[in-house]
Amino acid sequence: MECISYRFAVLERSNLIETSEIELPKFVQTLVENYNELPADGIRTEIPRLRRFLKAAKVPKEESLGLTSSKFLEFVVEYELFDSVPTLTLELRFFLTLYVSVASCERSFSKLKLIKNYLRSTMNQSRLSSLAILPIENSVTEGIDSDDAISKFAEQKVRKTRF
């Protein structure tokens, strides 16, 4: 996640609003090195233009520093600035649609420890898998009334067969 944030540092609200014209090329260069399809010149000219639009819209500096990347994109949409800052709009859309996983490694079979008991050695694989699904898909199982399911099961015919 930090690698992506570093690459797109030019889109951070503090950098979009407060970065000086001297420091701006450093952030732009980092982005262009990783995504060479983006034109560096377009980005350098569009950031000051976006700043001017924020001033023209009378957005206070404190409020503009509180804007997230999605709020910046909403600002561009609200004021129809697609033609004025096309590269920046493309970058914001690209950044906001990147698939980034911040979840730590998780043991996928940890629920099996909850299911283990003395019957496990005699249990077949399909039953063990079915029992494992219950705690894994707990959002579905929470909606099921267990008393109702037990009473429906009891009302059905006896499942024993005579030979």
Q: What is the pTM of this model?
A: 0.51
Helix, strand or coil for residue 54? helix
Give the pLDDT confidence of 98-114 residue by residue, as tens digits. Answer: 766 655 555 555 556 65
Among 101, 69, 87, which residue's Cα sits nearest to residue 32? Answer: 87
DSSP structure class, residue 21: T
Per-residue pLDDT at 119? 55
DSSP state of 101: -
pLDDT of residue 46: 82
Residue ranges of domains in the chain: 4-101
Give the contacts of 90 (CB within 8 A, at least 6 positions apart). Answer: 38
pLDDT at site 37: 77
Q: Over the stretch 64-102, which tens digit does the pLDDT of each residue have?
A: 777 777 887 888 888 888 888 888 888 888 888 876 665
pLDDT of residue 122: 64
**Which helix (H) or strand (E) segment is 81 a member of?**
none
Q: For residue 96, how many C-alpha atoms fall within 13 Å in the half-sphere facing its CB?
A: 14
